[in-house]
Amino acid sequence: MSEIFIGVDLGGTNIKIGCFDSELKIIGKTSVSTQADMGPDAVVSKMAQTAEELLTGENLSLDNVSAVGMGAPGPARYKEGVVIAAANMPKFKNVPIRQMLSERLGKPVIFENDANAACWGEFVLGAGKGVSDMVFFTLGTGIGGGIICDGKLVYGFADNAAELGHTIVYPGGRLCGCGQRGCVEAYASANSTAKRALEALEAGVQSSLKDVLDEKGEITCKDVYEHLAAGDELAKQITDETAKALALVCVNMLHITEPKRIVYAGGMIGAGKLLLRRIRDYFSEYIWFLKAETVEICFATLGRDAGIIGAAALAKKAFEEGQFDQQ
Amino acid sequence: MSEIFIGVDLGGTNIKIGCFDSELKIIGKTSVSTQADMGPDAVVSKMAQTAEELLTGENLSLDNVSAVGMGAPGPARYKEGVVIAAANMPKFKNVPIRQMLSERLGKPVIFENDANAACWGEFVLGAGKGVSDMVFFTLGTGIGGGIICDGKLVYGFADNAAELGHTIVYPGGRLCGCGQRGCVEAYASANSTAKRALEALEAGVQSSLKDVLDEKGEITCKDVYEHLAAGDELAKQITDETAKALALVCVNMLHITEPKRIVYAGGMIGAGKLLLRRIRDYFSEYIWFLKAETVEICFATLGRDAGIIGAAALAKKAFEEGQFDQQ
Residue A1 confidence (pLDDT): 53
Mean pLDDT along residues B137-148: 94
Mean pLDDT along residues B28-46: 95
Distance CA B115, CA A80 (A): 35
Mean pLDDT along residues B294-303: 97
Is the peptide bond between A108 and the residue preceding it cis, with omega within 30 degrees of 0? no
- The pLDDT-based confidence of B67 (bands split at 50, 70, 90) is very high
Tell me the shortest Cα–Cα distance from A322 to chain B, in angstroms.
19
Q: What superfamily in CATH does domain B127-301 come from?
A: ATPase, nucleotide binding domain (3.30.420.40)
Which residue in the set A160, A179, A255 is minimally distant from B166, CB to CB?
A255
Tell me if B257 and A154 make a contact (CB, 8 A cut-off).
yes
How many Cα atoms within 13 Å fall on the side-chain side of residue A90?
Answer: 1
Q: What residues in A contact B263, CB-CB < 8 Å?
A: none
- Which of A135, A157, A241 should be substituted to probe chain B, the one whose Cβ sees the most B Cβ atoms within 10 Å? A157
What pLDDT digit, counting tens, does each position of B189-218 carry? 999 999 999 999 999 999 999 999 999 999
Residue B216 confidence (pLDDT): 96
Task: Decide if A4-114 and A127-301 have a common fold.
Answer: yes
What pLDDT digit, counting tens, does each position of A141-171 carry? 899 999 999 999 999 999 999 999 999 999 9
Q: What superfamily in CATH does domain B4-112 come from?
A: ATPase, nucleotide binding domain (3.30.420.40)
- The pLDDT-based confidence of B327 (bands split at 50, 70, 90) is low
Which residue in the set B133, B157, B255 is minimally distant from A157, CB to CB?
B133
**Widest CA span in chain B:** 66
Tell me the shortest Cα–Cα distance from A198 to chain B, in angstroms.
25
Tell me the shortest Cα–Cα distance from A256 to chain B, in angstroms.
5
What pLDDT digit, counting tens, does each position of B70-103 carry? 999 877 888 899 998 877 788 989 999 999 999 9
Tell me if B149 and A156 make a contact (CB, 8 A cut-off).
yes
Distance CA A262, CA A128 (A): 8
pLDDT at B298 over 80: yes
Q: What is residue A153's three-state secondary structure? A: strand
Of residues B141 and B236, more confidence is placed in B236
- Asked whether A166 and A185 are in contact (CB, 8 A), the reply is yes
Residue B1 confidence (pLDDT): 53
- Asked whether B164 and B181 are in contact (CB, 8 A), the reply is no
Distance CA B242, CA B137 (A): 13
Distance CA A152, CA A287 (A): 26
pLDDT at A123 over 60: yes
Which residue in the set B149, B162, B164 is minimally distant from A154, CB to CB?
B149
Which amino acid, residue B90?
Answer: P
Q: What is the DSSP string of A23-37?
A: T--EEEEEEEE--GG
pLDDT at A86 over 80: no
Which residue in the set B133, B255, B291 is minimally distant from A75, CB to CB?
B291
Distance CA A57, CA A55 (A): 5
Structural domain A4-114, CATH architecture: 2-Layer Sandwich (3.30)
pLDDT at B23 over 60: yes
Is the peptide bond between A75 and the residue preceding it cis, with omega within 30 degrees of 0? yes
Distance CA B91, CA B71 (A): 18
- Which of A78, A149, A262 should be substituted to probe chain B, the one whose Cβ sees the most B Cβ atoms within 10 Å? A149
ipTM of this predicted structure: 0.94
Residue A326 confidence (pLDDT): 62
Q: What residues in A contact B86, CB-CB < 8 Å?
A: none
Q: What residues in B contact A244, CB-CB < 8 Å?
A: 171
Tell me the shortest Cα–Cα distance from A133 to chain B, in angstroms.
6
Domain ranges of chain B: 4-112, 127-301
How many Cα atoms within 13 Å fall on the side-chain side of residue B224?
Answer: 35
pLDDT at A198 over 90: yes
